[in-house]
Amino acid sequence: MLKGHLDAIVLAALAGEPAHGYAIIEEIRRRSGGVFNLPEGTVYPALHRLEKAGAVNSDWTTAPNGRRRRVYTLTPQGRASLDHHRDVWRDFARAIDTMMASGDPGAPLGDGPPWPTR
């Protein structure tokens, strides 16, 4: 379950350098430490959607081994979108962290700001 952050994750995976779909899936699995093991049926439609929205471009290429690959590149607009997603994520994560922290058996209540000061 990607919980609404699929676009952010895919864009983040492309932030370093262009990559083709299959490689993106592996990159996400690797970077997330195995937490995100996305099926192709999740990622490919997402890439098509992102391209339609102008966040990525794609080019068909032929790999050294002779296979056809569709390589996706982040557009400036896509990078801006990623930045936005980052902001949204920070707010979201902080909000959940706060919710989770309050009522934590190990956490004293009512002292200081409820945010974990990370």
Give me the residues that bind DNA (CB under 7 A), please: 1-7, 20-23, 38-42, 44-48, 63, 65-71
Query: What are the contacts of 54-60 at 24+ separation with CB within 8 A?
Result: 54/78, 55/7, 55/11, 55/81, 56/11, 56/14
- Which of 39, 41, 65, 109 binds a copy of itself (CB under 8 A)? It is 109
Nearer to DNA among residue 17 and residue 107 (C-beta)? 17
- Partner in contact with 69, chosen from a copy of itself, DNA, none, beta carbon below 5 to 8 Å by kind: DNA
Q: Which is nearer to DNA, 100 or 107 (CB)?
A: 100
Beta strands across the sheet bearing 19-20? 19-20, 68-74, 56-62
- Residue 93 C-beta: closest distance to a copy of itself, Å: 5
CB of 117 to DNA, least distance (A): 27
Q: Could you count the other beta carbons within 10 Å of the beta carbon of residue 78?
A: 23
